[in-house]
Amino acid sequence: MLYWFVRKLFELFYRYVCRLRIEGKENLPAEGPVIVVSNHISFWDPPLVATISPRRAMHYMAKAELFSIPVFGSILRGIHVFPVKRGEPDRKAIKHSLSVLERGEILGMFPEGTRSKTGSLQKPEPGAALLALKSQAPILPVALVNSDKIFHKGNPFPTLFVRVGKPFNLEEYYGQKATGEIMEKAGAKIMGEIATLLEAGGRPPLAPRNAAVGRPAVEGADPIR
């Protein structure tokens, strides 16, 4: 109940104050496990991504430090957010994530691991690729545009765009040992799908264009050849 109440409040704000537009919402699978991956540019992003789903709650990770804040930590758990220790492998968080997918539910992730301060896509952390390989769940790419401009001077309520791509998977890497090279290629594929969405729809992408490949730049990541 708490999740749906909080989600509805945010949805009303996004839809009627920020004129939210969602493209490709029908691409979300109607059932079964899904890993939703998105660029991350604002604190507003987790509830914004959740607006694409009419299904049961979307589960998210958040840095463990937030759960030590009185009351706030309990609220996070009540809206299906669970802790992860950043900067080190967190077996408990990985196990919890896999259990969410095993139950056929939705796991929301920001592969970059933290918010981008420039709007450019950053090099991904291995978490999203690792979970996608372990679970073999489909991956749904999402691009968020303008959420970093909410409450900024001049135009505090910008039109928000959420673009949802087609589900894909990492089947070309299934059965292979999760080496550093495999993880980098899998992560680059995930970020490439998000980058493609960011420049879709005839609107300027959030990230600056990379002249060599004609798509938003992914900092520190090489394209898969």
- Is residue 195 a part of any domain in this protein? yes
Residue 141: the pLDDT is 98
- Is residue 3 a part of any domain in this protein? no
pLDDT, tens digit, for every residue of 96-152? Answer: 999 999 999 999 999 998 899 888 899 999 999 999 999 999 999 999 999 999 999
Given a contact cutoff of 8 angstroms between Cβ atoms, the answer to whether 203 and 143 are in contact is no
**Better-predicted residue by pLDDT, 164 or 89:** 164
CA–CA separation, 62 and 103 (whole Å): 20
Q: Could you tell me the CA-to-CA distances from 221 to 41, 80, 184, 192 in Å, in that order? A: 18, 31, 8, 10
- Is residue 79 a part of any domain in this protein? yes
- Is residue 105 a part of any domain in this protein? yes
Q: Is the pLDDT of residue 216 over 50?
A: no
Q: Could you tell me the CA-to-CA distances from 187 to 111, 134, 150, 206 in Å, in that order? A: 8, 14, 29, 20
Start-to-end Cα distance in the chain: 46
CA–CA separation, 18 and 11 (whole Å): 10
pLDDT, tens digit, for every residue of 179-214? Answer: 999 999 999 999 999 999 998 754 444 444 343 333
The band of 86, judged by pLDDT with boundaries at 50, 70 and 90, is confident
- Is residue 7 a part of any domain in this protein? no
Average pLDDT of every residue of the chain: 87
CATH code where residue 54 lies: 3.40.1130.10
Sheet holding 34-38, edge to edge: 21-23, 161-164, 139-145, 34-38, 106-109, 58-63, 81-84
Given a contact cutoff of 8 angstroms between Cβ atoms, the answer to whether 47 and 20 are in contact is no
Own/partner pairs for 83-88, CB < 8 Å, 24+ apart?
84/127, 86/113, 86/114
The percentage of the chain sitting over the pLDDT mark of 70, rounded to a whole number, equals 89
Q: How many domains are there within the chain?
A: 1
* Stretch (H or E) spanning 162: strand 161-164
- Is residue 6 a part of any domain in this protein? no
Q: Residue 85 belongs to what domain range? A: 18-216
- Is residue 112 a part of any domain in this protein? yes
| Structure-token pair, residue 54 | 């009419």
- Is residue 194 a part of any domain in this protein? yes
Mean pLDDT within 22-38: 96
